[in-house]
Amino acid sequence: MAHLHLALELGGGFGRAGRLGVLARALLARGHGVSLSLRDLGTTQHLLADVPAPRFQSPVWQGRMEGMPPNEASLAEILLPQGYFELTGLCGLVQGWRSTLAAVQADLVVADYAPTALLAARSLGLPAVALGGGFACPPAARPLPCLRDWDQIAPQRLARAEAHVLNVANAVLEHHGAVPLPCAAALLRGDDALLATWPELDPHGRTDHAIDWYGPVWQEGGAAAPAWPAGDGPAVFACLKHEHPAQAAVLSALVEAGCRIVCHMPETAPGRPPPVIDPAIAYVSHPVALEAVLAEAALCVCHGGEATLTQALLAGVPVLMLPMRLEQFLLARRVEGWGGGINGARVLGDWAPALQALLGDGRWRAAAKAFAGRHGGTTVEDRVARVVRRLEHRLA
C-alpha cells in the first residue's frame, strides 16, 4: 500500500487538524501508511492521540516582516510574511519539507493550507493534492481573488503581491530543476484541489456544479450533553473564546432575552473567571456532544469555525457568527447571504435586534432547515470515504 503524508502549515484553530485526523484514521483502516506534519504538535495532541502515525513539526516561518499592509487582501499577501518574500528563507522552508517527505518516503502529499508542502512535493516530483474548506483552495483561474472586496484595494497592489509570490516560488523550483508553476493559484491547489465544503459555505462564492464538492469533514466526539439551565426560555448553544471583544455583551444580551445558555468556553478550565455569571448560563470547558446539544437548541452562537457552524446548520439551527479572522468573516458573510445566520461583525453594539430576529423570525430557521434538507443525507464517514477513494484513484 501507499504512504500518504498529511500536512498542515498555516491557519489557526483545531478544525484542520481534526480533519486530517479523520482522514488519517480512514487511510490507516484501508492499510495505507500515514504520517503527519502539524503547525502545533502540542495543542493538537488531544485530537490525534489515538492516531498511530508519526507526527512532525511543520517547517514554518518564524521571522517578522515589517511594512506589510494591515489588511491582507489576497492569499498572496497572506503568504508574503510567511516566508514567500525572499528566496533564501523559502528555500530553507522547502528544504525542511523535502527532508520530511524523504524521511517518510511519501508517495502522495495531502496539504490542508500547506502551500510550502505542495511546493516541496513539486520540487521532488511527488504527486500532491490540496484538501480544504474553500478559503485556501482558490479558484483555478488567475488572478487570486480579492478577499476584501468591500475595501478600495488597488488592482496593482494585488497583482504585485501575486507576481512576487509566484516569482519566488518558481525560483525555488528552478533551483531544484523542477517544472515552474503556471500561476499563483497552482501553488495553493497542487495537482488537484479537493473541496471539503459545499457551495453555501465557500468563501469564494463558487456555485459551479461541475466542481466535485466533497462536503465538510470534522472530528466528531465530545462528552455527554451538559444539562441546560432551568427554565422555559429558548435554548442557545454558544462556543466562544475570551479574545472576542463582544463575547460578554452577547452573553448578557442572551440572558436579557430570557435564553438558557450552554457555553463551551475552554478558557474557564484553567481558572479564568467567566465573562458573565448568571444562573441562565452553564459553562463547560470540555468539548460537548454537539449533535445532542444542537438537537435541543434554538440558536447557535460561534466564531464561524466551519465544524461548529456546519453542524449547527445541519441540525437546522440558525447561527449568530462572531468572526475573529478574515477566513471566518468571509464564511459568515456567505452564510448570512443565503439566510442561515447573522454575521455579527456588522452588528454595531446593540445585540438585541439580531437575537430577536434569529429567535423570533422563522425565516432564519427555515433557511437552516432547508440547508439540512439539501445536505443531511450523508455522514462524515461517507464524505471522508469519497476523499479516500479520490486519493487512491490518484495513486493508481
Element (H, E) at 173: helix 155-175
Task: Report pLDDT for 271.
Answer: 73
**273, part of any domain:** yes
Of all residues in the chain, what percent carry a pLDDT higher than 70?
Answer: 99
**197, part of any domain:** yes
**121, part of any domain:** yes
The range of the structural domain enclosing residue 88 comes to 3-215+379-395
For residues 192 and 290, membership in a common domain is answered with no
Cα distance between residue 70 and residue 369, in whole Å: 38
**188, part of any domain:** yes
**220, part of any domain:** no
Mean pLDDT estimate for the chain: 94
* Cell numbers describing residue 317: 439551527
pLDDT digits (tens, 9 = 90+) for 51-86: 999 999 999 999 887 778 889 999 999 999 999 999
**Bridge partners, 112 (sequence order):** 8
* Cell numbers describing residue 271: 481558572
For residues 371 and 384, membership in a common domain is answered with no
pLDDT digits (tens, 9 = 90+) for 248-293: 999 999 999 999 999 999 877 667 788 999 999 999 988 889 999 9
For residues 352 and 209, membership in a common domain is answered with no
For residues 387 and 345, membership in a common domain is answered with no
Angle at CA 36, nearest 5°, toward 31 and 38? 160
Cα distance between residue 115 and residue 322, in whole Å: 28
**275, part of any domain:** yes
CA 345 to each of CA 77, 245, 303, 320: distance values in angstroms, whole numbers, following the listed order: 22, 11, 10, 10
Summarize the chain as % helix, strand, coil (round to 5): 40, 15, 45
Nearest to 215 by CA among 373, 353, 376: 376
For residues 158 and 193, membership in a common domain is answered with yes
CATH number at residue 304: 3.40.50.2000
The whole-angstrom distance between residue 4's C-alpha and the CA centroid of its chain comes to: 21
Instruction: Please count the structural domains in the chain.
Output: 2
For residues 317 and 386, membership in a common domain is answered with no
Sort strands 260-264 and 281-284 into parallel, antiparallel or unpaired.
parallel
**224, part of any domain:** no
pLDDT class of 387 with cuts at 50, 70, 90: very high
pLDDT at 386 over 90: yes
For residues 128 and 63, membership in a common domain is answered with yes
67 or 392: whose pLDDT is higher?
Answer: 392
Is residue 250 within 8 A of residue 344, CB to CB? The reply is yes
pTM of the model: 0.95
Nearest to 200 by CA among 39, 88, 310, 75: 310
For residues 172 and 281, membership in a common domain is answered with no
pLDDT digits (tens, 9 = 90+) for 303-332: 999 999 999 999 999 999 999 999 999 999
For residues 192 and 270, membership in a common domain is answered with no
For residues 288 and 355, membership in a common domain is answered with yes
pLDDT digits (tens, 9 = 90+) for 11-55: 877 899 999 999 999 999 999 999 999 999 998 998 999 999 999
Is residue 370 within 8 A of residue 241, CB to CB? The reply is no
**29, part of any domain:** yes
What residues contact 366, with CB distance under 8 A and at least 6 apart?
339
For residues 140 and 174, membership in a common domain is answered with yes
For residues 80 and 211, membership in a common domain is answered with yes
pLDDT digits (tens, 9 = 90+) for 318-372: 999 999 999 999 999 999 999 999 999 999 889 999 999 999 999 999 999 999 9
Is residue 292 within 8 A of residue 225, CB to CB? The reply is yes
